[in-house]
Amino acid sequence: MLDIQGFLIKAQAVVCPQCNEVFATPDLAKMTKLTCDSQVETDLHRVLPDPFIRSTFVAVCPACLYAWWFAAFAPHYIVADLVPETPTIEFPKKFALAVLSGRNNGAHALDRAMLALNGCWCAREGFVLAGTQDSPEAVAENTRWLNLAKQELEEALSDQEWEGNRNRYQYILGEVLRQLGEFEAALKYFESVDRRSMLPRQLVVHQIKMAQAQHSHPDFLPPHLVEMIFLPKTQVVETLPEQPEPEQTSQSIAQTSIPQTQSSAPAEFINASTPHLIPA
C-alpha cells in the first residue's frame, strides 16, 4: 500500500470488459476527506498532490489498450502480483487513451469531456510537482487538454437528451473557455448559469468579472466557497436566484464527478484553497 499524503493506493487485479484480460492496476483505496482548506480550483476540481493519484481513476488494459474509468473494470480475486501489469505510460496519457476508447466505443461526450478535464488536471499536477508549471511545455500541454475538453463539452451540451446538472457543465465550459483566453465565449456560458447549477452566485459573478477583465489564469476557491459548494452544513444561503431542486446534493456532486451519464466515474470535481481571490 502506497501512502501519498493520506491517499492510499494499492495494486488490484481487474478484468478488462473488452477482452477479459486479467491485469493489475493501481486502485485508490482511500482518499483524504475534502475540507474547507483543500485546494479546489474555480473549475470545481480538487487539486491532488501527485499526478499518480488522479491517474488511478482510469485503468488501461495491457492486452487491448482499452482504457476507461477504473470502476468499469470488475475486480478479480487473484493476487495482483500474479497477473500482468497495466502498461507503464505517463499518467495524463491514460486519460488520452480513455478519450480514444470512448470515441471508439460510442461513449457519451460528457464522459469524454470529464476524462479530458482529468487529463488536463493530471498533467498540471505533474508539472506542479516538478515545479515546472510555468514552462512553455506545461502551457502548451495545458492548452491542448483544454481544447480537447472544450470540444467534448460542447458536444455533450449540444445533446439535449441527457439530464443531470447541465447548468453546472455550462459553468465548467465557461471556465475552460476563460482559461483558453476565449473570453467572449466564456461570458456567454457564464451568463447562462442559473440556480440549477447549485453554485453560489458570488462565484459566477466573480468568474464573469475575470472573463471581462480578460484574466485567463486558473484560480483557487476561497475556503468559504469550498464549504458552500461541497460541504454545506445546512442550507446554502446565497444561491443563484431561486432554490435548487433537490435532484442531487452538493455533497454528492463533490464526490461523484459525472452526475447522470456514467455511474462508473470517479470522484474529483472539486476543490480550492487560497482565500484571497474571490472577495467575500
User: Does residue 101 belong to the site contacting Zn ion (CB under 5 A)?
Assistant: no
Cβ partners under 8 Å of residue 143, min gap 6 = 180
Among 62-70, 91-99, 124-132, 193-201, the segment contacting Zn ion (CB under 5 A): 62-70
Q: Which of 9, 13, 16, 270 binds Zn ion (CB under 5 A)?
A: 16
Of 22 and 153, which has the nearer Cβ to Zn ion? Answer: 22
Of 147, 146, 149, 169, which Cα lies nearest the Cα of 157?
A: 169
CA distance 70 to 189: 31
Rounded to the nearest angstrom, the gap between the alpha carbon of residue 260 and the centroid of all alpha carbons in its chain is: 15
Q: How near is the Cβ of 210 to Zn ion at its closest, in Å?
A: 43
Q: How near is the Cβ of 57 to Zn ion at its closest, in Å?
A: 18
CA distance 43 to 23: 34
User: Does residue 148 belong to the site contacting Zn ion (CB under 5 A)?
Assistant: no
Alpha helix (H) ranges present in the chain? 51-55, 91-104, 109-130, 136-158, 166-179, 183-191, 201-212, 223-230, 250-255
User: Does residue 247 belong to the site contacting Zn ion (CB under 5 A)?
Assistant: no
User: Does residue 68 belong to the site contacting Zn ion (CB under 5 A)?
Assistant: no
User: Does residue 189 belong to the site contacting Zn ion (CB under 5 A)?
Assistant: no
User: Does residue 74 belong to the site contacting Zn ion (CB under 5 A)?
Assistant: no
User: Does residue 18 belong to the site contacting Zn ion (CB under 5 A)?
Assistant: yes
DSSP 48-92: -S-HHHHHTTEEE-TTT--EEEGGGSEE-SS-GGGSPBPP---HH
User: Does residue 130 belong to the site contacting Zn ion (CB under 5 A)?
Assistant: no
Q: Which of 2, 6, 19, 249 binds Zn ion (CB under 5 A)?
A: 19
User: Does residue 25 belong to the site contacting Zn ion (CB under 5 A)?
Assistant: no
Q: Which of 64, 130, 139, 140 binds Zn ion (CB under 5 A)?
A: 64
Of 93 and 196, which has the nearer Cβ to Zn ion? Answer: 93
Q: Which of 15, 31, 63, 100 binds Zn ion (CB under 5 A)?
A: 63
Q: Which of 66, 69, 121, 183 binds Zn ion (CB under 5 A)?
A: 66
In Å, what is the CA distance from 150 to each residue of 112, 178, 185? 11, 11, 11
Among 12-20, 140-148, 152-160, 227-235, the segment contacting Zn ion (CB under 5 A): 12-20
Residue 199 near residue 178, CB atoms below 8 Å: no
The alpha carbons of the chain give a radius of gyration, in whole angstroms, of 18
Binding site for Zn ion (CB under 5 A): 16, 18-19, 21, 61, 63-64, 66
